[in-house]
Amino acid sequence: MLRNALTLTAAVAALLSPVLSSDPARADDYPSRPIEVIATFGAGGGADLMARQFARLAEPHLHVAMPVVNVSGASGNAGLTRVLTNPADGYTVGTLIALSVSSWASGLGTAKPDNFVYVAMMQNSPSMLYVSKNSPFKTYEDFAAHAKANPGKLRVATSGYGTQDDITLKYLGSQGVPVTNVPFARPSERYASPIGGHTDAIYEEPGDVAQFLKSGDLRPIVVFDKQRHPSFPDVPASAELGLDIGDLPNFRTLAVPASTPPERVQKLHEAAAKVLASPEWKAFCADTFTCVDTLVTSDQAKEEVKAFYETVKGYLDRFATKTVGQTPG
């Protein structure tokens, strides 16, 4: 009878073993199934392209499929809500970009930097002000002089109110360069607006308008940074022009909920490090002007995100704004 009881116990344990090992809190074979990558903006935008490139290059390192799902809306907060409400088991990763952090500071959504662990800082670049190839403004000084002489007459295409775009234009206004913010919800319309003469300039990061830069349809007249962009050495930095507005970078991170097991975050981080070091990624980020200089840890990325959040809050305290807008990320 004892032998039969022991045999039965062993059989039950064998049957339960797969169930127990599938418990996310107990499994040590992570990842053992597909990892969903949430692109928090629509198809074709910068966040979407980053997510798809990362997933494609990370799959061989993590040895599982990494399907990308677009969950757009509310400046990326719709997708981030899905990231936070899914189980914190490392099987849902989302894109978390500067615009979304800016939206939190503007009062949109309920998320905060501490709600997430940042797997990696994948991309980063400053924004620029661009005019069309037929624009009468050859330099930023030309643009600023006309704006001063004609307050509010120059129109600048942006991604919306409460964004880095809006903050920068309000800052320029405080420096005696008053221009009008013209938001566009659709990226294609925004990019084309100065080319078609619907606006006089566009505020954007270079990666999102790379095709127009390469074709010559758009040309930058200032980069909002402390130093010149290496890909545009002839374009002055805002700091050179006495403009203290070079602290609103366009970063893109990959994030998971803060309660995700650290060992799983580490596996994702190691995969991201391999992706960032790959020739394919380096070619991709160079083509979009978004390469990060060095790999940062999850903690360092979090500190950068928190610092950006506080910077945006500081600007918004200085400049009243309307409801935050949206962009394709």
pLDDT of amino acid 185:
77
Q: Would residue 10 count as lying in a domain?
A: no
Q: Would residue 72 count as lying in a domain?
A: yes
Domain that holds residue 167: 128-248
Q: Would residue 224 count as lying in a domain?
A: yes
Cβ neighbours, 10 Å, residue 14? 9
Say yes or no to pLDDT of 102 above 70.
yes
Say yes or no to pLDDT of 274 above 70.
yes
pLDDT of amino acid 186:
79
Residues 214 and 260 in one domain: no
CA distance 201 to 218: 9
pLDDT of amino acid 6:
42
pLDDT of amino acid 11:
47
pLDDT band per the 50, 70, 90 thresholds, residue 1: very low
CATH of the domain at 107: 3.40.190.150
Q: Would residue 274 count as lying in a domain?
A: yes
Tens digit of pLDDT for each residue in 190-219?
999 999 999 999 999 999 899 999 999 999
**Domain end (from 248, 266, 293):** 248
Tens digit of pLDDT for each residue in 284-293?
999 999 999 8
CA distance 142 to 3: 93
How many domains, in total, are found in the chain?
A: 2
Residue 210, burial from CB neighbour count under 10 angstroms (0-12, 13-18, 19+): middle
- Angle at CA of residue 102, ends 98 and 105, nearest 5°: 145
* Cβ atoms of residues 191 and 202 within 8 Å: yes
pLDDT of amino acid 294:
87
CATH of the domain at 174: 3.40.190.10
Tens digit of pLDDT for each residue in 145-162?
999 999 999 999 998 888
**Domain end (from 214, 248, 282):** 248
Which residue do the tokens 């099987």 mark?
A: 91
As a whole number, mean pLDDT of residues 215-234 equals 96
DSSP secondary structure string, 4-68?
Answer: HHHHHHHHHHHHHHHHHHTSTTT-SS---S--EEEESS-TTSHHHHHHHHHHHHHHHHHTS---E
As a whole number, mean pLDDT of residues 275-282 equals 97
Residues 115 and 256 in one domain: yes
Closest alpha carbon to 324 in 126, 178, 166, 157:
166
Mean pLDDT of the chain: 90
pTM for this prediction: 0.85
Residues 217 and 255 in one domain: no
CA 89 to chain centroid: 23
Tens digit of pLDDT for each residue in 45-54?
889 999 999 9
CA distance 281 to 190: 27
pLDDT band per the 50, 70, 90 thresholds, residue 85: very high
pLDDT of amino acid 163:
86
**Domain end (from 201, 223, 248):** 248
Residues 133 and 194 in one domain: yes
pLDDT band per the 50, 70, 90 thresholds, residue 322: low
Amino acid 262 reads P
Say yes or no to pLDDT of 313 above 90.
yes
